[in-house]
């Protein structure tokens, strides 16, 4: 069983290995657990998503006023479409959740942090195209 936190309601779902994760729905709100688009995290759902999701979670720390963040958003979405459900892609608005950004030492945006088993395993600052994001995540999750 793999635990997947629902991007819509933050409920923890246990997905059996014989069930395709791409078809799984939340037992609480019945929304798809994966939609090919990054989950929008909040201050309330951030810690739960990082700690309880049984697959790697890639978080894009961004802000609405950030030009490079806006440029990277469609590329991050393309990477999510290519890699989900093996990796959960998520976004955290640093303006709406400054405590989480500060707790993870975010000093420039966009910054992506890859978490596995609740712990940071890789970090990358600066905008990247989708192919480079996918390659970076694959290299970081090999170990």
Q: Which residues are catalytic?
A: 66, 69
Question: Which residue has tokens 């030492």?
Answer: 105
Tokens of 119: 């712990």
Asked whether 143 and 128 are in contact (CB, 8 A), the reply is no
Asked whether 49 and 5 are in contact (CB, 8 A), the reply is yes
Considering just the CA atoms, what is the radius of gyration of the chain in Å? 14
- Picking from 39, 18, 37, 47, the residue whose alpha carbon sits closest to that of residue 75 is 37
How far is the C-alpha of 89 from the C-alpha of 67, rounded, in Å? 20
Bond preceding residue 30 cis, omega within 30 of 0: no
């Amino acid at each position: 069983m793999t635990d997947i936190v629902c991007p819509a309601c933050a409920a923890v779902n246990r997905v059996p290995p014989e069930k395709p994760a791409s078809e799984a729905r939340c037992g609480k709100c019945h929304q798809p657990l994966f939609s090919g688009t990054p989950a929008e995290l909040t201050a309330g759902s951030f810690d739960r998503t990082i700690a309880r999701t049984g697959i790697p979670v890639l978080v894009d720390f961004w802000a609405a006023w950030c030009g490079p963040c806006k440029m990277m958003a469609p590329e991050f979405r393309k990477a999510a479409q290519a890699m989900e459900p093996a990796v959960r892609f998520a976004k955290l608005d640093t303006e709406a959740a400054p405590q989480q950004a500060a707790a993870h030492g975010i000093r420039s945006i966009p910054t992506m942090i890859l978490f596995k088993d609740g712990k940071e395993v890789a970090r990358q600052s600066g905008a990247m195209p989708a192919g480079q994001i996918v390659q970076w995540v694959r290299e970081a999750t090999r170990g």
